[in-house]
Structure formats: structure tokens, C-alpha cells
Amino acid sequence: MKIICVNCPMGCPMEVQVSGQEISVSGNACSRGAAYAKTECVNPVRMVATTVKLKNAAIAALPVKTAKPVPKGKIFDCVKALKGVEVCAPISIGDIIVPNCAGTGVDIVATKNVGFAG
């Protein structure tokens, strides 16, 4: 499996070999690369940041994110689960907007404080 390291501008092109429990990484210039390649190979995860519709506020969209990184393959499931979700101000950072999004066990939380503006 080929993985490009994202830790620094070197962008080492790494090759990861998995045989049973053994994961070997080559092409990395430092240990951070090896650690990244292993995670990326076994369980790649990403934070998802997007918006939901917002009512009673000066802005039309409320920024939200997954409270923790979710599996890479679940990114679109999370975004789809938020389609049609609409919330009303006031909202505080950390408010849970959708619990357990798309069965990931991870909540979608607000990332902005928004006051009421009727």
C-alpha cells in the first residue's frame, strides 16, 4: 500500500507492507512517518467539518464538526445524515446537534456561538 506522508513538506512516498500482525514501512525519512503510515493503513480516520441550516440568527449556516475523528469511509455518511437538519439560535460551542451520527458513535457538535436574532 502506498501512502504519502502528511507530517511535513518532505511528503515522503511510503510503502506499507502488512503480513499478519507485522506492519513494515519503507520510504519514510523519520519515525513520525512510520507512525502515520501504520495508522493510515490500519484505521484511517478524519475529522468532518461542515454546516447545518440555522434559523433565528444573523447567519444562515451553523458550522459543526464530528466531536472525534470518524473512519474515512464514513465521511459521506456523516454529511448525508446532516442533510435536512435545521437548528435554531441561540447555540453554544459544543452543543450536540446530532448524537451518534450515522452510527459512528460520534456526536456532531456546534463549533460557533450564535446569538438569537429574530
Partner 1 sequence: MRDVDVAIIGGGPAGLAAALGAKKAGADKVLVIERDRELGGILNQCIHNGFGLHTFKEELTGPEYSARFIKEVLSGDIETSLGTMVLELGSDRVLKAVSASGIQEIRAKAVVLSMGCRERPRGALNIPGSRPSGIMTAGTAQKFVNIDGLMPGREAVILGSGDIGLIMARRLALEGAHVAAVAELMPHSSGLKRNIVQCLDDFGIPLMLSHTVVGIFGKDRLEGVSIAQVDSSLRPVPGTEKLFPCDTLLLSVGLIPENELSKMAGVKLSPDTGGPIVNESFETSAPGVFACGNALHVHDLVDFVSEEAQEAGENAAAYAFGEAFSGSSAEVVPGNGVRYVMPFSINPKKVKNNMTLRLRVTAEKRNAALVVKMDGEQVLKRKKMVFAPGEMETISLSGELFAKRPNISRIEVSLEDK
Footprint of partner 1 on this chain (CB under 8 A)?
4-11, 29-30, 46-51, 53-54, 58-61, 63, 65, 72, 75-76, 79, 93, 111-113
Nearer to partner 1 among residue 24 and residue 76 (C-beta): 76
DSSP letter at 36 equals: H
In the complex, the smallest distance separating the C-beta of residue 9 from partner 1, rounded to whole angstroms, is 4
Nearer to partner 1 among residue 10 and residue 42 (C-beta): 10
Helix (H, G, I), strand (E, B) or coil at 77: helix
Ramachandran region, residue 113 (left: φ > 0; alpha: ψ -120 to 50; beta: rest): beta
Euclidean distance between CA atoms 7 and 39, whole angstroms: 13
Euclidean distance between CA atoms 55 and 63, whole angstroms: 13
Nearer to partner 1 among residue 59 and residue 96 (C-beta): 59
In the complex, the smallest distance separating the C-beta of residue 29 from partner 1, rounded to whole angstroms, is 6
